[in-house]
Amino acid sequence: MSASRTSARCSGVAERVVARGPGRVNLIGEHTDYNHGLALPFAIDRGVTVRAEPYEHATSTGAGAAEGHEGATIEAIAADLGERDVFPLDAPERAGGWRAFVRGTVAELQAAGHTLHPCRLTIEGDLPHGAGLSSSAALEAALCLALVEEEDVDRVELARLCSRVENDWVGAQTGLLDQLAVLCASEGHALRIDFRTLDLQPVPLELGGWQLVTIDSGASHEHAAGGYNERRAECAAACEALDIASLRDAGAVDRLPEPLGRRVRHVTTENARVEAMMHALASGDLSAAATLLDASHASLRDDYEASVPEVEATVGALKRAGAAGARMVGGGFGGSVLALFPPAVAPPPGALAVAPGPPARRLRAG
Ligand code: GLA
């Protein structure tokens, strides 16, 4: 093995590391994370896989240098898109699209004290981008677990780090929901998250013959560009007007001008729906769970104004197909719809059955 090959090792522990980040579905608790509220997401089987392997030419004498980079580099390949990126390991520069996630994760890991090594990252996935199933957090988590030397990193810290990638490198002022769901979920369970305390509680998700499915509305979203950041700013404005630290502390909202009053009403009623969902699940009352999905959707549509015509059409189609409850998932303004079907009612063609799978993990090393 040559000296450059030795220095091209990945993750410090093995020649090759493969990590998988799952997508997530949020059962209920939408736009509550950045308001210190409650949510109940779970990880799903679909996700993003990152393979990190020695990059023999990743030094100043190799391919990286030939492409104008001095010193050690990282090569990243987005296999599904047929695109490639090469950037200096020590000082990744800003970029757009999927490159922002990779460069941001590399930079934030190093800023947090992790030692990274030059390597080639190959990214593949089976999660649709922009469909509200959090392909972003799946990618960030898989990148982290493929790149860090130690496997037993603090996952809440890692979630915060991934969130900084979204906020500071991608420009989406998203909260911690997706990253905590993807990194801290457990198989067979939803994860009750209290965003004020970061208390995480696994909740058995037993559906007794009922079925959860998602279906893509066909309207893609970009949190960095759409109404998401605007809603976040409105919540901050409401906090300022109410003189409270977060909307978790909001009570009566009649002192607020519209649309701030509606925004606050969504957040406070959504927190209550998360608690109600916990009761519905604990007592096996899936009809009540379905009713809560409908109520959450109505609140997101009418009070939070986060729906679009394609999402409304998809919810309508699912209800006509026999769904007992249906709602938009994720940040809204497009993306997927989640629906709960009673036993013996078949979901429509194109619906994706979703069940709680394992969290982000290394698949194999060596
Ligand atoms: C997106 C964001 C999350 C959360 C949801 C809405 O998925 O990434 O942080 O705010 O929207 O619940």
The finding on whether 135 has its CB within 6 A of some atom of ligand 1 is no
213, 352 Cβ separation under 8 angstroms: yes
The pLDDT score that the predictor gives to residue 341 is 98
pTM of the model: 0.92
What is the residue-level pLDDT of the chain in tens, covering all 366 positions?
333 333 334 554 357 899 999 999 999 999 999 999 999 999 999 999 999 998 765 444 444 444 566 678 999 999 999 999 999 999 999 999 999 999 999 999 999 999 998 999 999 999 877 678 999 999 999 999 999 988 789 999 999 999 999 999 998 888 999 999 999 999 999 999 999 999 999 999 999 999 999 999 988 766 545 788 899 999 999 999 999 999 999 986 668 999 999 999 999 999 999 999 999 999 999 999 999 999 999 999 999 999 999 999 999 999 999 999 999 999 988 999 999 999 999 999 999 999 999 999 999 755
178 is catalytic: yes
Nearest residue to 130 (alpha-carbon basis) of 325, 316, 311: 311
Q: Are strands 119-125 and 211-216 parallel, antiparallel or unpaired?
A: unpaired
3-state helix, strand, coil in the chain (%, to 5): 35, 20, 40
- Got the DSSP string for 314-328? HHHHHHHTT-SEEEE
Q: What are residue 313's phi and psi, to 5 degrees?
A: -65, -40
The finding on whether 85 has its CB within 6 A of some atom of ligand 1 is no
Question: What is the Cα Rg of the chain in Å?
Answer: 21
Q: How far apart are CA 140 and CA 137, in angstroms?
A: 5
The finding on whether 49 has its CB within 6 A of some atom of ligand 1 is no
Nearest residue to 229 (alpha-carbon basis) of 220, 237, 239: 237
Q: How far apart are CA 23 and CA 358, in angstroms?
A: 10
Q: How far apart are CA 172 and CA 275, in angstroms?
A: 28
Q: Which of 85, 178, 216, 303 is catalytic?
A: 178
* 31 CA from centroid of ligand 1 (Å): 6
**Is residue 138 helix, strand or coil?**
helix
**Is residue 94 helix, strand or coil?**
coil
Tell the residue nearest (CA) to atom 9 of ligand 1.
175
Q: Which atom of ligand 1 is nearest to the CA of 176?
A: 9
Q: Which amino acid is at 364?
A: R
Q: Which of the listed residues 24, 26, 30, 33 should we mutate to test ligand 1's pocket, taking the one with most ligand atoms within 8 A of CB?
A: 33
The finding on whether 332 has its CB within 6 A of some atom of ligand 1 is no
46, 22 Cβ separation under 8 angstroms: yes
The pLDDT score that the predictor gives to residue 222 is 62
Q: Give the number of other Cβ atoms within 10 Å of residue 254's Cβ.
A: 5
Chain centroid to CA 33: 12
The pLDDT score that the predictor gives to residue 66 is 45
* 228 CA from centroid of ligand 1 (Å): 8
Please tell me what DSSP assigns to residue 39: E
Please tell me what DSSP assigns to residue 10: B
Q: Which atom of ligand 1 is nearest to the CA of 26?
A: 12
**Is residue 83 helix, strand or coil?**
strand
Work out the angle at residue 245's Cα, subtended by the Cα atoms of residues 242 and 246, and round it to the nearest 5 degrees.
85
153, 11 Cβ separation under 8 angstroms: no
The finding on whether 216 has its CB within 6 A of some atom of ligand 1 is no
253, 245 Cβ separation under 8 angstroms: no
Q: Which atom of ligand 1 is nearest to the CA of 132?
A: 7
The finding on whether 174 has its CB within 6 A of some atom of ligand 1 is yes
* 317 CA from centroid of ligand 1 (Å): 24
Q: Which atom of ligand 1 is nearest to the CA of 30?
A: 12
